[in-house]
Amino acid sequence: MNDEFIPMSRPYLGREEIDAIIDVVKSGWITTGPKCAELEENFARYTGALQALTLSSGTAGMHLVLKALGIGNNDEVITPSITFASTVNQIVLAGAKPVFADVDYDTLLVRPEEIEKRITKHTKAIIPVHFAGAPADMDAIESIARDIPVIEDAAHAVGTFYKGRHIGWKNLAVYSFHPIKNITTAEGGMITGSDKDFMARVKLMRFHGIERDAWKRYGRASDPSYDITEPGHKYNMTDIQAALGTVQLRKIDQINEIRSNIANRYLNELASIDGLDLPGRPQYDHVHSWHLFVVKILSMDRPAFMEALARDNIGYGLHFPACHRLSYVRRLFGDIDLPETEAASQKILSLPLYPGMSDENITRVIETIKGILA
């Protein structure tokens, strides 16, 4: 066995990130403040969105958006089953019903026609996922959605472009900066949107319902009083996290280029192996951010394959256990028929992919897989 463990993911952090954090700590203002404002401005500019709001997590963002849209009892929200359970949890916690649309077996992206089939008079939102960093087919989804709000789950998709523009530039989009993601703030997230009134409401709900930012209320000779017209949550990001995010965002092109190079090595060097399906690519014009490299294991049981990788000290991930199969989802909503999701979900496995991965490590992963499946 090789002594060096190759993890599935590792954040790409260096001296600049450390210095940025030290500067914030020295400044005396460490929670939400000017650094969050700077990250919001830079992120909006990068994605082409009108406005961006920093958050404590992507999950918090989904909670706020569902709440601001007034989604609750008797409402339905359409989303794929191959997604992180946090989205489904938030739908259910809001009192609404998750309605699962099938994905395309090859790309694992939600199929617009499968969304269309499931629209009813109760449908209050559609949440496509830009899975693994590939964009969902937004033109098709938007034309099907008509007046139904579309919330883009962009957790995997910083640096994902669809037909020449960054995803999420005009709809509501929710990003995650968890350490596995292409850029990280340790924990954290972002909502982007173009409706000023809606974003103002989200901003209010993000911090107790208090109108004025704390860093302004506690500034020199300012008025510390406030009123609350509607109770809110505490989902703000700190300036320590935002300083990290600002440095990371500056490096996004470099980070995604390295990710893309690793993905291309996998695509080229694993192509000739029997018993393995490589990730399918959407046919429309796009830039993939290669957040994940998800293969399907065909010629052996996935647990046995995972065991063999583990024996060789190689990490892996599972993105994601299908949500319609989670115990509580089955208990509440019964069995749901999703043929392509079912066909894929028992076979998928995420291979190591992160910017600090050495050429030797990439070779080791490829050779190990060849050996296991030979």
Ligand X SMILES: Cc1ncc(COP(=O)(O)O)c(C=O)c1O
CB of 316 to ligand X, least distance (A): 16
Residue number, 169 or 177, with CB nearest to ligand X: 177
Q: Among 35, 67, 97, 181, which one carries the catalytic annotation?
A: 181
Residue whose pair of structure tokens reads 């952090």 in the numeric block: 13
By three-state DSSP, how is residue 41 classified?
A: helix
Pick one of 47, 54, 57, 241: the residue that binds ligand X (CB under 6 A).
57
CA–CA separation, 359 vs 34, rounded Å?
A: 39
Q: Examine residue 83 and tell whether it contacts ligand X (CB under 6 A).
A: yes
Pick one of 129, 183, 190, 270: the residue that binds ligand X (CB under 6 A).
129
Residue 168, amino acid? G
Residue 351: which residues within 8 A CB-CB, separation 6 or more? 8, 266, 293, 294, 295, 316, 365, 369
Q: Is the peptide bond before 320 cis (omega within 30 degrees of 0)?
A: yes
Site for ligand X in 146-165 (CB under 6 A): 153, 155-156
226-to-29, 124, 210 alpha-carbon distances in Å: 20, 33, 7
Residue number, 256 or 368, with CB nearest to ligand X: 256
Pick one of 32, 47, 51, 87: the residue that binds ligand X (CB under 6 A).
87
Q: Examine residue 54 and tell whether it contacts ligand X (CB under 6 A).
A: no
Number of residues that bind ligand X (CB under 6 A): 14
Site for ligand X in 168-207 (CB under 6 A): 176, 178, 189
Residue 78: which residues within 8 A CB-CB, separation 6 or more? 99, 100, 101, 115, 118, 119, 123, 125, 126, 127
Residue 75: which residues within 8 A CB-CB, separation 6 or more? 94, 95, 96, 97, 122, 123, 124, 125
Q: Examine residue 294 and tell whether it contacts ligand X (CB under 6 A).
A: no
Q: Examine residue 111 and tell whether it contacts ligand X (CB under 6 A).
A: no
Pick one of 32, 51, 54, 59: the residue that binds ligand X (CB under 6 A).
59
CB of 110 to ligand X, least distance (A): 11
Residue 265 corresponds to which tokens in the numbers above? 């090595």
Q: Which stretch binds ligand X (CB under 6 A): 36-44, 84-92, 95-103, 231-239?
A: 84-92
CB of 30 to ligand X, least distance (A): 20
- On the 0-12 / 13-18 / 19+ scale of CB atoms within 10 A, 273 is middle
Residue number, 91 or 295, with CB nearest to ligand X: 91
By three-state DSSP, how is residue 299 classified?
A: coil
Q: Examine residue 241 and tell whether it contacts ligand X (CB under 6 A).
A: no
**Residue 163 annotated to the active site:** no
CB of 9 to ligand X, least distance (A): 11
- Residues, the chain: 374
Binding residues for ligand X, per CB under 6 A?
57-59, 83-84, 86-87, 129, 153, 155-156, 176, 178, 189
Residues belonging to the active site: 181
